[in-house]
Amino acid sequence: MGDSTESRGSTDRKDYIDEKNLQHDSEVSLSDDIVVEPVITTVISPSGKEIQIDMQHADEAFRMAKEAENLVVTPEEDRRLCWKIDLCMFPLMCLIYAVQFMDKIATSSAAVMGLRQDLKMKGDQYSWVGSAFYFGYLFMNLGPVQLIFQKSLYMSKMLAIFIIVWGLILTCHAAPSVNYAAFIALRVLLGCAESVVTPCFTIITAQYWRSHEQFARISIWFGMNGLGSIILNSMAYGIYIHRESYAIKAWRLLFVIVGVITIFLGVLIFLWIPDDPSKARFLNEREKLMVVHRIKDNQQGFGNHEIKWYQIKEALTDVRTWLYFAFTVSSNIPNGGISNFISILFNTNFGYDIPQTLLMGIPTGAVEVVGCPLFGILAVWAARKRIPIWEHRLTWAIFAAVLALIASCMLGFAHHSKGARLGGAYLWYISPVSFICVLSNISANSSGYTKKWTVSSINLVAYAAANLAGPQTFIAKQAPDYQGAKIAMVVCYACMIVILSILLFINARENKRRDKIQAERGDPGEEENLAFADCTDFENPYFRYTL
């Protein structure tokens, strides 16, 4: 399916190149004593089409790649560099991801601390509090995020500004004048501001780490959702038991504290996280070239600030894009519901009082903060040992989806065992491993900077729409059991297993096809720096999909 798309898109690619080079060609005058390097490179795509690559409009890393051509890097040097990047980038990235999850679930804790009563919520109005956030998230990922961040030369600076703005919005949740309508409006605005974190972190991960390293890194920073849950629930418990000591309601104070923490971290992001590796103050010049050298095997670079419309078209006609979309809908309908209703379930369905409810939320974070990175580390270990089947990260995603299905069945149908239902509620927090895998697949397998942003944006539109729908499966008249929501979770996780299996199959089949084509053509050696030509995965004959 992907190959026929590429055939149809080859004319678009040529038109794009002709348009971009028209002015360039008219301005260049040649004389006998001047040698001009050709800016057009021709390659034969996996479908046999001749693709012209305009190196004038290549990846931002192309210039540095020319300098790094003769660079010799020992395995020891590369390991030291990888550790240095991890230590310099990861602490802030992990803290930001923890805080953004605290922002999302703060309403769940606030709901049992008096939010619903103080804002006079009735019926399904609280469900719309959870959904409202994702209206903003959905709107931003329909286009604005890609346009702002792909065109910007200062991606991390823009990210920091968005983080500071969302911190300010969060503190406004505590304003005494806030009523239900104003609270819903603030949740929409918060969704707009927070929508940039996951796509930006996915791009940053692709800029620094090799494809086989990305799953473990994304597992770690995404797993910090669990750390956020631990901190938020501990904070909410401490605030609630001392609620008589404050001049404002406990749930309002919770929003103020989390908002101020967010603003502080946004300032740190602005000051420390580089816009791309070439601007990293913690790397010397040789180390910057080493980053380019180490990511060359990804067949991707730092990025390109031109919106290339043929790559958008390719993303829209790539079957993988829509498998990601279907998977994300299936995985995040349950996520949207549980994130907003877990405290209410502990309170009403399990029968815990408010302080116990806040404490019972802490183990959910512990499961996620340990489980998600552990799965990522195990996947890396299995890949190094080349253990059949388990060397593929998609296998781990399917395994996590099976565990999530079992957890949903325990939570939904173990009516006569409170312990089994509680075990299911905690085991469910392994489910993000599957979504992490899809994020790492988008990072590693969507080549071409415009295409990567487009696929990521479409995936996050699905994420927003599913999380928007999730709280609506918790119907007020079905309280306290919410059986309809639990059945929806079981159905969604069954669909996830099928979708991930299809994705694994088509990627493995395409890699075998490309290996066969390369063997038939012979291997003339990889085109110099083609990895940094901003080619898509359909165009690049040397590209192989990560399984």
Give the pLDDT score at 73.
82
Which amino acid appears at position 322 of this protein?
W
366: in domain: yes
The amino acid at residue 77 is: E
CB atoms near residue 130 (< 10 Å) = 25
Give the span between the Cα atoms of 479 and 127, in whole angstroms.
Answer: 12
Contact 404, 396 (CB under 8 A): no
One domain for residues 27 and 98: no
User: What pLDDT sits at residue 5?
Assistant: 41
Q: Is residue 205 part of a domain?
A: yes
Residue 517 forms part of a structural domain: no
Tokens of 190: 């918060």
Distance (Å) of CA 504 to CA 31, 376, 443 = 54, 17, 16
Distances from the Cα of 334 to the Cαs of 157, 273, 458, in angstroms? 33, 33, 19
DSSP class of residue 44 equals E
Q: In the block, which residue shows the tokens 């927070």? A: 194
**Residue 8 neighbours by CB under 8 Å, 6+ apart:** 317
CA–CA dist 424, 404 (Å, integer): 8
Same domain for 461 and 489, yes or no, is yes
What's the pLDDT at 397? 92
DSSP state of 349: I
* Structure-block tokens of residue 161: 């500004």
Q: What angle do CA 112, 116, 119 make, to 5 degrees?
A: 145
Does a structural domain hold residue 545? no
Phi then psi dihedrals of residue 44, to 5 deg: -100, 120
Residue 499 and residue 353 share a domain: yes
C-alpha of 395 from chain center: 19
Per residue, the 3-state secondary structure of 260-284, as one string, reads HHHHHHHHHHHHHCCCCHHHCCCCC
Q: How far apart are CA 240 and CA 234, in angstroms?
A: 10
Residues 35 and 84 in one domain: no
Based on the structure, what is the number of domains in the chain? 2
51 and 85 inside one domain? no
pLDDT for 185:
93
Phi, psi dihedral angles at 274 (to 5 degrees): -75, 155
Measured at the CA of 491, the angle between CA 487 and CA 496, to 5 degrees, comes to 145
Pairwise CA distance, residues 69 & 377, whole Å = 32
Q: Are residues 296 and 351 in the same domain?
A: yes
Which residue type occupies 495? C
Same domain, 436 and 453: yes
Position 230 in a domain: yes
CA distance 440 to 198: 11
* Domain identity same for 122 and 54: no
Contact 163, 272 (CB under 8 A): no
Q: What is the DSSP letter of 471?
A: G
DSSP string, 4-43: HHHHHHHHHHHHHHHHHHHHHHHH----TT------EEEE
Amino acid in position 502: I
- Assess whether the previous peptide bond of 471 is cis (omega < 30° from 0): no
Q: Could you tell me if 412 and 304 lie in one domain?
A: yes
Would you state the structure tokens that stand for residue 154, as one six-digit string?
């200062």
Q: Is the dihedral of CA 39, 40, 42, 45 positive or negative?
A: positive
DSSP state of 346: I
Do 528 and 387 sit in the same domain of this protein?
Answer: no
Q: Considering the domain boundaries, does residue 347 fall inside one? A: yes
Secondary structure element (H or E) that encloses residue 343, with its range: helix 319-344
Indicate which CATH number applies to the domain containing 256.
1.20.1250.20
- What pLDDT score was predicted for residue 67? 74
Residue 524: is the preceding peptide bond cis (ω within 30°)? no
Helix (H) or strand (E) holding 53: strand 50-54
- Residue 538 within a domain: no
Kindly state whether residues 8 and 139 are assigned to the same domain.
Answer: no
By residue range, what is the domain housing residue 87? Answer: 78-512
* Residue 366 neighbours by CB distance under 10 Å: 15
Q: Which residue type sits at 72?
A: V
What's the sign of the alpha-carbon dihedral 184, 160, 200, 304?
positive
Identify whether residues 321 and 425 lie together within a single domain: yes
- Residue 157 falls inside a structural domain: yes
Mean pLDDT by 10 residues, the chain (547 residues): 43 47 39 43 75 64 70 86 91 91 84 88 83 88 82 86 94 88 92 88 86 86 89 90 88 93 94 88 88 76 76 92 94 84 82 85 88 88 87 91 92 83 89 88 85 89 88 82 86 94 94 88 60 80 86
Q: Which of 263, 270, 208 is nearest to 82 (CA)?
A: 208
